[in-house]
Amino acid sequence: MTPVYKLSASSITGRTNYGSMKAGFIPPIQFTLDYLVVAGGGAGGGSNNAGGGGAGGLRCTVTATGGGGSLESALTLNTAQNYTVTVGAGGAGVATAGLAASGSNSVFSSITSDGGGGGFGGNGSDTSGANGGSGGGNNYVRTTNASSGTANQGFGGGVGFGVNPDYSAGGGGGAGEAGNTDAMGYGGDGVATSITGSSVTYAGGGAGGINNPADPNTGGDGGGGIGGRAGGGGSVPGNGTANLGSGGGGASSFSPITGGNGGSGVVILRYPDTRTITFGAGVTGTESAASGGYKRATITAGTGNVSWA
């Protein structure tokens, strides 16, 4: 009789040891994911003639990305694995002179977008707005040395225009162009992407405050806050739109008023419709119905983990 030898699975070179796998184990499945990660926008400067807030940095694998860069590369993920996600808040406006608050970073897995830079407010200092995903606008005194945006995320803020009667501060930079591109004090436009299935523009810069009530500055396309303007004691600057990552408007002259708040960011994920996402504790998000072979998860607030089955 021929002897029978029992080999352990682990002793066979080049083979996987399945002996340790528990019953019901399902091996991870790889899939490809597209993303849009937009950080929180910076606040517009306070006090008077203040720079607009810079838009949050924008990184995207669909249609276009920020800063005039090449499209980002899609990610390869695994099911049954946790991935970190954070949606950055917008900077909060204040009434005092100085550098306004920048927005907070947004994160998905290995991808980080930088918060937008705050605008600078007040006429007592020759100062630039803050650098960020897109840079904040200068106050009207600072007519050179604009702030900068992060490469492949956004553009820099605009410089000031210290000439009567306008005394315009610089517009905040947007994901699609620098502040002041369209006109002095105007916020930079954002970037349109169709990751949701329809074209939406994100991350416009906030406008700079202006002294002349007959010539109001406007925020960049993409929900940028409208800059304050003088007249009857000054008007209230606009806030950046929530979940578009836009910058807040800068305060106008004659009135120590509060600069506009930056808009919060957003994380949008597109993946095959055979996969289903789970939002962990602390994450606010929704998953769309299947369309065109994809589902989309839109995450609007929080920090935590997500996973897929």
pLDDT top residue among 26 and 180: 180
CB 205 within 8 A of CB 174: yes
CB 126 within 8 A of CB 141: yes
Residue 149 near residue 156 (C-beta atoms within 8 A): yes
pLDDT recorded at residue 195? 98
- Provide the 8-state DSSP code for 36: E
Residue 44: pLDDT over 50: yes
Query: What does the pLDDT average to over 295-301?
Result: 98
- Supply the pLDDT for residue 227: 67
Between residues 164 and 291, the one the model is more confident about:
291
Q: Is the pTM of this model over 0.95?
A: no
- The answer for residues whose C-beta is within 8 angstroms of residue 164's C-beta and 6 or more apart is 211
Whether the CB-CB separation of 42 and 103 falls below 8 Å is answered with: yes
> Strand pairing partners for 268?
36, 298
pLDDT value of position 23: 61
Mean pLDDT on 42-69: 95
SS3 257: strand
The contacts of residue 118 (CB under 8 Å, 6+ apart) are: 42, 43, 44, 45, 53, 54, 91, 99, 100, 101, 102, 129, 130, 132, 136, 262
pLDDT at residue 307 greater than cutoff 80: yes
The reported pLDDT for the residue numbered 18 is 38
Pick the closest to residue 301 from 284, 286, 289 (CA basis): 284
**At 3, which amino acid appears?**
P
Confidence of residue 14 (pLDDT cuts 50, 70, 90): very low
Measured distance CA(166)–CA(208) in Å, rounded: 11
Rounded distance between C-alpha atoms, residue 28 and residue 80, angstroms: 6
Which residue in 41, 16, 6, 55 sits closest to 189, CA to CA? 55
pLDDT at 215 over 80: no
**94-140: pLDDT as tens digits:** 998 999 999 999 999 999 999 999 999 987 677 899 999 999 999 98
| Beta bridge pairs of residue 113 | 106
What confidence tens digit (pLDDT) does each residue in 57-105 have? Answer: 999 999 999 999 999 999 999 999 999 999 999 999 999 899 999 999 9
CA dihedral 285, 289, 294, 299 (to 10 degrees): -10
Please report the pLDDT score of residue 233 as a whole number.
46
pLDDT per residue as tens digits for the range 229-288: 544 345 788 899 999 999 999 988 766 688 999 999 999 999 999 999 999 999 999 999
Strand duo 58-60 + 30-38: pairing: antiparallel
Considering the chain, what is the average pLDDT of its residues?
A: 88
Checking if the pLDDT of 179 tops 90, the result is yes
Distance of CA 141 to the CA centre of its chain: 28
Give the pLDDT score at 259.
Answer: 92
Pseudo-torsion of CA 62, 66, 69, 74, nearest 10°? -30
pLDDT surpassing 70 at residue 180: yes
Res 122: pLDDT: 82
Tokens of 7: 């080999």
